[in-house]
Amino acid sequence: MRTARSALDFFLPGRRVSELVPVAGGNVNDSLYVRLSSGRRYILQKLNPSVFAQPEQVIANLSMVTDYCDREKSKQQQCLIRLPRLIRSPAGRTAFIDPIGHYWRLLTWIEETCTMATINFEEQGRAIGRLLGCFHHLLRDLPVGKLYDPLPGFHHTPTYLHRYDQVVGSRSEGVFSGARERRCAAFIDEYRDRAGILEQHRRSLSASIIHGDPKVGNFLFDAGGEQAVSLIDLDTIMPGLLLHDLGDCLRSCCNPAGEEVDSPERIVFDRSLFAAVMAGYCEKALDLLGKTDRDLLIDAVFLISFELGIRFFTDYLAGNSYFKVERPEQNLQRALVQFYLAASIDNQRRVLDLLWQQSIMAADTSCR
Ligand code: GN1
Ligand code: MG
């Protein structure tokens, strides 16, 4: 907390702080809620150095995107997105570097909003889909080359698989211990042939600037909880595929049980929420999706769940150095949730395909 105080003093020298408390929920960075005695509120964040090797690039990307959105206000007429802004120190700096080299930044607090870790109602799914569509539209003319790629290969599933194989190969114990580890390994073996599906079609998929982490908790709703009004956590904004974002958003929205579940085998991918999110997205951004994007949407949702499962399981096997944990087996449990989710998507493949075709037709009709 002492370093957090120093960071605050760097950005807002001499201000009286009345509250400084950790915010739960992030798997990677440390976030603190700040309230000054004047009533103004902020979010103070320490970037995780084991994840972001070049934190200055993450901060530069955020600045580039919010400046761009400010300049392109006219594009937001149809759909306003409130984004967090970086606070500068009196000397104009956007990062405080603490004595051990960690980067801290201060962000504006988005007032009169609330977050949700999971959603249960179709209207919420639709609202999220709409906002993601607006976000993709808003950024589509920002040249991809203007942004740094803070995490190269972030959604390159074959690389995650390769790293998993390396970690397994280097374990002196050799075999997996316990039913849950064996279950994860079996899922990976069952689905490993599908890891390259997006990479194989990369050239015919729509490339864009993506959010990189559009999970439910990163959408802010208005105070009534009805409209999604803001998208936060802009650390993973990077060049990518629209299907990466759609896959990630859907694997999160359509899992009403959430990512931390005691009985992962009960996880079911909720197809009504799927239809709702995609209906919302199509309202705003169906035009961004080409034929191959449309054909591979369900594969993408499956893939991003599977990929996240591999990431959690590999981190568990390698000693939990990437995703923060409160207990050593937490990443194992999180991995199982994603694998069962992937299996549920796979089991419902035909219905999901049908629902997706219906969403496309409904959106096409309403555009005519
Ligand atoms: C991480 O830290 P957080 O919760 O914003 C991860 C995402 C995962 C997510 C799963 C940089 O995001 O890729 O989808 O956990 N972020 C990074 O909850 O790896
Ligand atoms: Mg994130």
Is 2-49+83-111 a CATH 3.30.200 domain?
yes
* CATH topology match: 2-49+83-111 vs 122-366: no
How far, in Å, are 62, 64, 207, 310 from residue 30 at the CA level? 17, 23, 30, 23
Distance (Å) of CA 42 to CA 2, 84, 173: 17, 10, 47
Contact assessment for residue 209 and residue 237, using Cβ atoms and an 8 Å cutoff: yes
CB 84 within 8 A of CB 43: yes
74 Cα–ligand 1 center, Å:
31
pLDDT digits (tens, 9 = 90+) for 62-80: 999 999 988 887 776 667 8
The residue whose CA is least distant from atom 5 of ligand 1 is 26
119, 126 contact by CB (below 8 A): no
Query: Could you give the CA distance from residue 72 to residue 53 in angstroms, rounded to a whole number?
Result: 31
Residue 27: CB within 6 Å of ligand 1? yes
346 CB under 6 A from ligand 1? no
Quick one: which of 125, 365, 121 has its CA closest to 246?
125
Atom of ligand 1 nearest to the CA of 324: 2
Closest-CA residue, ligand 1 atom 14, reads 213
Structure tokens at 317: 């096997």
> What's the start-to-end Cα distance of the chain, in Å?
57
From the CA of 322, which ligand is nearest? 1
Q: What is the pTM of this model?
A: 0.96
Position in ligand 1 atom list of the atom nearest CA 259:
18
| Closest C-alpha to ligand 1, atom 10 | 27
Q: Does domain 122-366 have CATH number 3.90.1200.10?
A: yes
Q: Give the CA angle between residues 352, 128, 59 to the nearest 5°.
A: 120
Please write the tens of the pLDDT for every residue from 206-256. 999 999 999 999 999 999 888 999 999 999 999 999 999 999 999 999 999
- The whole-angstrom separation of Cα 268 and Cα 84 is 33
Q: Find out whether the beta carbon of 252 lies less than 6 Å from any atom of ligand 1.
A: no
Q: Domain-by-domain residue ranges, the chain?
A: 2-49+83-111, 122-366
Ligand 1 center to 64 CA (angstroms): 21
Q: Is 307 in the pocket of ligand 1 (CB under 6 A)?
A: no
- Closest Cα to residue 303, out of 151, 204, 178, 200? 200
- Among 244, 301, 323, 331, say which to mutate for ligand 1: greatest number of ligand atoms within 8 Å of CB: 323
Mean pLDDT of successive 10-residue stretches along the chain, which has 368 residues: 95 96 92 97 96 96 92 75 96 97 97 95 97 94 90 97 96 83 97 98 96 97 93 95 98 98 96 98 96 98 98 97 96 98 98 97 78
With a 6 Å cutoff on the Cβ, whether 43 touches ligand 1 is no
Beta-carbon contacts of 68 under 8 Å, excluding residues fewer than 6 positions away, are 139, 142
Enumerate residues 6+ apart whose C-beta is below 8 A from 124: 116, 221, 225, 226, 228, 276
Q: How far is CA 28 from CA 45, 236, 321, in A?
A: 11, 11, 10
Q: Is the CB of 51 under 6 A from ligand 1?
A: yes
Compute φ and ψ for 21, nearest 5 degrees.
Answer: -135, 140
Confirm or reject: Cβ of 308 under 6 Å from ligand 1.
yes
Relative orientation angle of helices 157-170 and 179-191, to the nearest 10 degrees: 140
